[in-house]
Copies of this chain bind each other. A is one copy, B any other.
């Protein structure tokens, strides 16, 4: 199956370039001819990906400006952690595309988290949160992080609520974000506010322009990379406008992943959640938006370079040995997923005074 695809791609490429060379009497002719394959590639890609939507669906947590504003402030708030050092932004610094650059995130008292920090940009669109899908939504993730022992580490939800209630600035903002509620300062509303904020964190990129029909939005190497990405089968798991986040998959379908990564220990993945033997070594397929900006890679951050991650993925998920050229082109394509972070998100909010 994979071999067939491989041959088709190689043949396809040679064929195109053969004919192109033959016909390229003028630049104009080449451009006209190129429109064909571009359109085919675009249509294939559209059927699997498509552009980011204008806004993220949020059926259970209606987005309001007040909720987003509160969520944005709370995102930067460390005073609701047990040692006063952990806020959402600690593990998701925006300047590094909302990842921390570490193999595994460090929470309160520098406690190591079990897995690598995924970006929160575009993350709310996934089927679940965390590598093993043990959080149902960004709201669930935000709430549970408050009492997560290696995260904020608060002894109870009540203790977090008490701190928030002690700051008049927050009391006012919670009232505005949750009008009509008698007791708006709750961790559930904390979760809704942070979740609403996170649902605004979309990063459209050159790839979206391409998905909307602008054939020149990707460079030629990027288009070749996209073609290889598709023909190699990467899109089998990395689909949707987010290129991932929609399914679970075993890491190491053809060979154990630890054979190629520098993993210090073997993580049984989603088995920890479901206790189903078939879920051993199964992880949520990560989204690939901004992947070039979010090293290190994999659930344990065991691989530093994107090139290596691409080669390993092809090898152990698709049993395919990518050439150096193919790897470079896929990496070039992945860089087209590096998006624009909304200006408003990059503004540091002033936190309410302690009293």
Binding site for B on A (CB under 8 A): 73, 76, 78-79, 83-85, 93-97, 100-102, 106, 109-110, 292-293, 295, 304-305, 341, 346-351, 353-355
Which residues from B are CB-within-8-Å of A102? 84-85
When the two chains form their complex, are residues A101 and B79 in contact, meaning their CB atoms are under 8 A apart?
yes
Residues of B within 8 A of A95 (CB): 73, 76, 348-351
Contact across chains for B346 and A347 when beta carbons are under 8 A apart: yes
Given contacts A85-B102, A95-B349, A293-B353, 11 further A-B contacts (CB under 8 A): A78-B101, A84-B100, A84-B101, A101-B354, A110-B110, A292-B353, A304-B354, A305-B355, A346-B347, A347-B348, A348-B348
User: Is B93's CB under 8 angstroms from A78's CB?
Assistant: yes
* Contact assessment for B353 and A94 in the assembled complex, using a CB-CB cutoff below 8 Å: no
A354/B85 contact (C-beta < 8 A), A76-B93, A110-B110, A347-B346 known: no
Number of copies: 2
Interface of A is mostly: loop
> Closest residue to A95 on the B side, CB-wise?
B351
Give the docked Cα–Cα distance between A234 and B137 (Å). 53
- Whether A350 contacts B354 by the Cβ 8 Å rule is no
Q: How far is the CA of A106 from the CA of B354 in the complex (A)?
A: 20
Using CB atoms, name the residue of chain B closest to A351: B95
Q: Closest Cβ of chain B: how far from A89's Cβ, in Å? A: 9
Chain B residues near A341 (CB-CB < 8 A): 350
Q: Which residues of B contact A348 (CB under 8 A)?
A: 93-95, 346-348
CA–CA, A78 and B100, complex, Å: 9
Q: Report the Cα distance A341→B79, complex, angstroms.
A: 21
> Whole-angstrom distance between the alpha carbons of A85 and B85 in the complex?
12
How far in angstroms is the closest Cβ of chain B from A153?
12
Looking at A95, A110, A304, A353, the one whose CB has the most chain B CB atoms below 10 A away is A95
